[in-house]
Chain A
Amino acid sequence: MKKAIILIALLGLGATSYAQDLLGILEDEAPETKNYVSSTFKGTRILNGHSVENRKKGTLEFIISHRFGRVNLGVDELFGLDQSNIRFAFEHALTDNFMLGIGRSSFEKTYDGFFKYKLVRQSTGKNAFPATISLFGSTAYKSIKDYDPNDKPDFNDRLYYTSQVLIGSKLSPGISIQLSPTYIHNNTVRTKDDPHDIFALGFGNRIKLSNRVTLNAEYYYTFNPLESLNTKNSLAFGVDIETGGHVFQLILSNSITMIEKGFITETTGGFFDADIHFGFNISRAFQTGGRKKRHQLKKL
C-alpha cells in the first residue's frame, strides 16, 4: 500500500514536470539579476544642491541657471526679475559613475569646478542595497575685486572647498529622498568670529506628479553658521519638467547663489519673510561619442 502511494506520488511528479509550460521553464532559467534603481532624481541637482544622479558616460550637459532678485522688492523691480544672477556650466560624464563640471557664476564673479563619483547604486534582487551614495567635491574661486587695496588677497585666499556625501534612496517609483552631510572650508573669512570650517546637513526629496513632472523640496541646516552675516538656512521648492533632452527646473528659494559654498553658508534671505528668489535651471544633454554596444554572444 505504502509503495503504491509513493508510486502514484512519483508518477504525479513526473506528470507535472511533463506538463510544465514553456513560460514556466523560462522563469526558472532566467538568470537571477541585480537590478539597479535608476532615476532617483531627474536631474543632477535636486534644486540648488547636487542630487545623487550622474549622467551616463559620454553625456555632456550644458546647464544655464538663473536666480532673480527677491520677489518682495515689488513692482519697481518687477518682483526681482530686473536683477539677475546667472551661472552657466559644462558638465561631462567621463564614465557612468564619474563626472566633472566647470561653471561660472555672475554672483561675486565666481568660478567653480567639481567632481561627483557614484560610489554605490541602489539595487533590488541579488545583493540588494537600499540607497545610492555619491561623493561630491568642489572648489570655488571668487574673482570679484571688492577688496581693500591695502590687503589684496592672493589666489589661495580666494578659494572655498565643499565636500559632500550624498545618500539618496528611491523609496517608491514616485518618491525619492536624500540626505547630504556637508563640510565646507573657507580659506578666508570676513571676521575672526567666522568659522573656517562649516558643517551642514541637507535634506531633499522629490514627488513624482506625472511621468515627466516632479515636485521637489530641499533644505540645508547649518550647524555653525558664519557670524558676520545674518545667515539663514537655505530652503527651496520647485518643479522638474522633462521634455526629451531637456530638463527644466523652476525654483523658489531664499538663496541667490547656485554653488554650495554660497547657498549653504551665505544665505541671508528669510523664506517666510518673502525674501524669495525665483529661478530656473535649464539643461541640455548632448551625447558625445557612441556607446559601446554589447556584443552578441552567439554560443551559450
Chain B
Amino acid sequence: MKTLTLTLFMALFIGLAHGQEKYITKQGNISFYSHSPVEDIEAENNQVLSIVDTSDGEIAVSLLIQSFIFEKSLMQEHFNENYMESHKYPKAIFRGKILELGDLTENDKTATIQGELTIRGISKPIETTANIKKMDDSIVLTGSFLVEVKDYKIKIPSIVANNIAKTIKVSFELIHQPYN
C-alpha cells in the first residue's frame, strides 16, 4: 500500500514538475492585414490558444477562424462563408519549435521559429523570427510573418481581386502564463 501511495505521489509530482515548464494563453492576439490599392482590410482575433514548452522550445498555436472580428460585419460573414469556409475548416493551427530558446530575460531577444502552419486543412512549412521575453511570470512572444493567399487555395473571384492582397501580413502577440 505504501509503495502504491508513494508511486501515486511520484506520478503526480512528475506531472507537476513537468507542468511548470509549460506556459499557456487562451487570450492571445493574432491579427492580419491586407493592403491593396482599393482598400485595406484588417481583422483581429483575441481568443487565440497558444502553449510553449520552455524545456525544448516546442510551441503550438490554435485559433478559431470565426473568432476573427472585422470592422465591416458583411466582410466578416464573407470571410467565413466564402473564403475560409470556416464550417468546413474551423481552425488554423501552428505547431513548431523556437530554436535556441536559451535563457529568457526581461529584454526582448530575437528567436527563429520553424514549424508548420495549417489553414483550411493545408499544411505548409513556415519560418519566421519573433521577439521573446520573460516578464514576471509570463512569456511574451511577438512578431509577424507573411502568408501567401494562394498557398492555402483561397479562391478570390476576379471582381474583388484588386481589393484583396496576394500576401497577407499576420501579426501576433501571445502572453503566456504558467500552465498547471
Contact = CB atoms under 8 A, between A and B. Distances in A.
B113 interface: no
Contacts of A58: 73
Contacts of A293: 44, 69
Given A26-B49, A296-B29, A245 B95 contact: no
B98 to A, nearest CB: 12
Interface of B: 3-4, 7-8, 10-11, 14-15, 18, 22, 24-27, 29, 44, 46, 49-51, 53, 58-62, 64, 66, 69-74, 76-78, 80-82, 85, 87-88, 93, 95, 155, 157, 159-160, 163, 175, 177, 179
Contact of B53 (A3, A22, A33, A294): A22
Contacts of A245: 74
Interface in A253-300: 285, 287, 290-291, 293-298, 300
Contact of B27 (A18, A55, A59, A296): A296
B7 A23 contact: no
A297 B47 CA distance: 9
B7 A29 contact: no
Contacts, number: 118
Contacts of B82: 211-212, 242
Interface residues of A, number: 45
A17 B179 CA distance: 14
Contacts of A1: none
Given A10-B11, A29-B24, A56-B73, A21 B60 contact: yes
A11 interface: yes
Contacts of B66: 35, 38
A296 B160 contact: no
Contact of A243 (B18, B25, B159, B179): B159
B51 A25 contact: yes
Nearest to A96: B73
A38 to B, nearest CB: 6
Given A14-B14, A242-B82, 7 more contacts: A38-B66, A173-B87, A287-B71, A287-B74, A291-B69, A296-B46, A300-B177
Nearest to A58: B73
A227 to B, nearest CB: 44
A122 to B, nearest CB: 12
Contacts of A13: 11
A7 B4 contact: yes
Nearest to B10: A14
A244 interface: yes
17 contacts: A3-B4, A10-B4, A18-B14, A22-B22, A22-B58, A25-B179, A30-B49, A38-B80, A56-B73, A242-B82, A291-B69, A291-B70, A291-B71, A291-B72, A293-B69, A294-B69, A295-B46
A57 interface: yes
A6 B4 contact: yes
Contacts of B160: 243-244
User: Which of A6, A26, A27: most chain B CB closer than 10 A?
Assistant: A26
A242 B66 CA distance: 20
Contacts of B64: 33
Given A10-B7, A23-B60, A300-B177, A294 B46 contact: yes
Contacts of A295: 46
B7 A11 contact: yes
B56 to A, nearest CB: 10
A292 to B, nearest CB: 9
